[in-house]
C-alpha cells in the first residue's frame, strides 16, 4: 500500500493496534491476567481511538489559545516542530565524507515551499474499564484508599502509548515526507530545544508540563472533549448506551506533499474557523447556553436532567472544587476572590493543591495514586446519548471547508 493511501483514519488506527499488540507480547507489559490493561474492542484488539486532521503548513494550531491559564503563552506550533526536526536532520558530512562548513538545518521557508500540508494524528489508548471499575469500587466506600493495579496500569499504558507512537511513526516514514513522533521524550526535547529558555517553564505558564499541549491537540482534532475537570473524555454510542474512554494521549505530525483534504471522506478532518469557535464555546464552562451545552459529553452543567459532579465531589485535595465555576456558569465568591489565578478571565487549575496531597502519599507509598477525577468520571460519570450524536454530527458539518 502506498504511503498516501495509508493516511486515512481506519488504516492508521489498525497500524496503532498492530504496534500495541506487538508490545503486549514483550515481557515488561505482561503483568496482569488476560491482558486487560487497556480497553479492547469486540475482536479483543486494543480499542485505540484516533483522530486525524490536516492543515496548511502555515496553519496556527494555537490561535486564540495563547494564555498562561490555557495552553500557555508559547506553545510549540508547526514552525517549531519543523525546526526541531530539521535541526536533528541537518547535514554534517558532504558527498565525499568530509565535514561540511555550513551545518545549517533547512529553514521553515523550505518546508513552506516543499510540502503542501501537515497531517496531525492524535491517539488515545483507553484504560481498561474493568480496572477503572475495580478502582472506583475501592475508593468510593474508602475515600483514603488507592490501588496498585490502577497505578501500574497508568504507568504501563503511558509507556505503551509512547512506544507504539514511535514505532507507528517509523512505519509512516517515506522518501518524500517528514514524520515527527510526539512521544514524551520529543515533547520534552521540543520544549527545551525548539523554544528559547525565556519561553519555557513559568515564562510559558504554570504547571504546563512542557510547550506541546497533547490534550488540546486531541480536542482540536475531534478525538474527545474537555470535561469540567480538564480531562479529555471520548464518548461513543453503542448498543443503546454510551461508552466513555479516557487514557494517555500521543500524536504524530507529518509534513507531506499531498493536497489538503477538506471533505472528511477519508476520516481526516479540516479544523475550520467555525470548528474552532464552536470548540472554544464548548469548553468554556462559564458558558451555560443550552444551545452549546447540548453538545457536551460532560454533564456537569444540567441539560434536561440533573448534572454530574463525580470529579468535583470525589476530589480529596479540593483542587477540583477550587477550579470550576458553579453549574450556573458563575464562579463562587471564594474562587473569584483569587484574582491571581485569572488571566484574561481564564482560571488556572489549582495544580499545586492537586499535587501536594498525592505527592505526599506517593512519597510514603510508591504505588499510591489518586486519579479520582479520572476514574470516577470514566466509571460513574453521567452520559448523554443525544449529546454524543449531536456532537459528531456537528463535527462533520464544521470540519468541511467552506472554500
Per-residue pLDDT tens digits for 208-220 = 999 999 999 999 9
Contact present, 203 and 72 (Cβ < 8 Å): no
Per-residue pLDDT tens digits for 239-278 = 889 999 999 999 999 999 999 998 888 899 999 999 999 9
Measured CA to CA in angstroms, residue 299 lies from 71, 158, 302, 319 at distances of 23, 27, 6, 19
Q: What is the DSSP string of 329-364?
A: SPPPHHHHT-GGGEETTEEPP-HHHHHHHHHHHHHH
Per-residue pLDDT tens digits for 284-295 = 999 999 999 999
Contacts (Cβ under 8 Å, ≥6 apart) of 321 = 312, 315
Edge-to-edge strand list for the sheet holding 249-256:
178-182, 249-256, 117-124, 49-55, 268-269
pLDDT along the chain (403 residues), means of 10: 69 96 86 73 94 97 97 98 92 68 81 97 96 89 80 92 97 96 97 96 94 98 97 94 97 96 89 97 97 97 87 93 96 96 96 88 88 94 95 95 70
Q: What is the number of residues in the chain?
A: 403
User: Could you state, in order of their start, the residue ranges of all structural domains in the chain?
Assistant: 3-90+105-398
Percent of the chain whose predicted confidence (pLDDT) is above 70? 94
Contacts (Cβ under 8 Å, ≥6 apart) of 23 = 29, 160, 163, 164
The Cβ of residue 386 has, within 10 Å, a number of other Cβ atoms equal to 13
Amino acid at each position: 500500500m502506498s504511503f498516501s493511501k495509508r493516511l486515512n483514519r481506519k488504516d492508521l488506527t489498525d497500524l496503532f493496534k498492530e504496534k500495541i499488540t506487538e508490545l503486549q507480547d514483550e515481557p515488561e507489559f505482561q503483568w496482569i491476567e488476560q491482558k486487560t490493561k487497556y480497553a479492547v474492542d469486540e475482536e479483543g484488539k486494543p480499542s485505540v481511538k484516533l483522530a486525524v486532521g490536516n492543515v496548511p503548513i502555515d496553519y496556527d494550531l494555537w490561535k486564540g489559545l495563547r494564555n498562561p491559564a490555557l495552553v500557555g503563552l508559547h506553545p510549540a506550533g508547526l514552525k517549531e516542530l519543523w525546526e526541531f526536526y530539521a535541526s536533528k536532520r541537518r547535514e554534517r558530512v558532504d558527498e565525499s565524507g568530509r565535514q561540511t562548513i555550513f551545518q545549517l538545518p533547512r529553514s521553515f521557508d523550505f518546508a513552506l515551499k516543499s510540502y503542501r500540508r501537515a497531517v496531525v494524528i492524535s491517539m488515545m489508548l483507553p484504560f481498561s474499564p474493568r480496572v477503572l471499575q475495580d478502582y472506583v469500587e475501592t475508593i468510593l466506600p474508602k475515600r483514603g484508599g488507592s490501588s496498585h493495579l490502577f497505578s501500574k496500569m497508568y504507568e504501563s499504558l503511558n509507556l505503551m502509548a509512547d512506544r507504539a507512537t514511535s514505532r507507528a511513526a517509523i512505519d509512516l516514514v517515506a522518501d518524500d515526507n517528514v514524520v515527527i513522533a510526539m512521544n514524551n521524550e520529543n515533547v520534552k526535547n521540543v520544549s527545551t530545544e525548539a523554544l528559547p529558555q525565556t519561553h519555557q517553564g513559568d515564562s510559558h505558564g504554570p504547571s504546563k508540563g512542557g510547550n506541546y499541549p497533547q490534550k488540546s491537540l486531541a480536542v482540536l482534532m475531534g478525538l474527545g472533549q474537555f470535561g469540567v475537570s480538564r480531562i479529555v473524555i471520548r464518548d461513543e454510542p453503542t448498543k443503546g448506551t454510551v461508552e466513555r474512554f479516557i487514557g494517555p494521549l500521543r500524536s504524530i505530525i507529518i509534513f507531506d506533499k499531498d493536497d489538503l483534504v477538506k471533505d472528511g471522506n477519508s476520516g481526516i478532518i479540516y479544523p475550520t474557523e467555525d470548528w474552532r469557535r464552536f470548540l472554544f464555546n464548548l469548553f468554556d464552562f462559564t458558558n451555560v447556553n443550552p444551545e452549546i451545552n447540548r453538545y457536551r459529553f460532560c454533564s456537569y452543567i444540567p441539560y434536561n436532567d440533573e448534572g454530574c459532579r463525580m470529579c468535583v465531589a470525589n476530589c480529596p485535595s479540593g483542587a477540583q472544587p477550587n477550579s470550576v465555576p458553579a453549574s450556573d456558569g458563575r464562579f463562587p465568591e471564594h474562587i473569584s476572590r483569587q484574582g491571581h489565578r485569572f488571566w484574561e478571565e481564564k482560571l488556572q487549575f489549582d495544580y499545586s493543591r492537586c499535587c501536594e496531597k498525592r505527592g505526599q502519599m506517593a512519597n510514603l507509598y510508591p504505588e499510591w495514586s489518586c486519579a479520582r477525577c479520572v476514574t470516577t468520571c470514566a466509571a460513574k460519570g453521567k452520559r448523554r446519548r443525544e449529546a454524543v450524536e449531536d456532537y459528531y454530527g456537528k463535527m462533520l458539518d464544521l470540519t468541511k471547508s467552506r472554500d
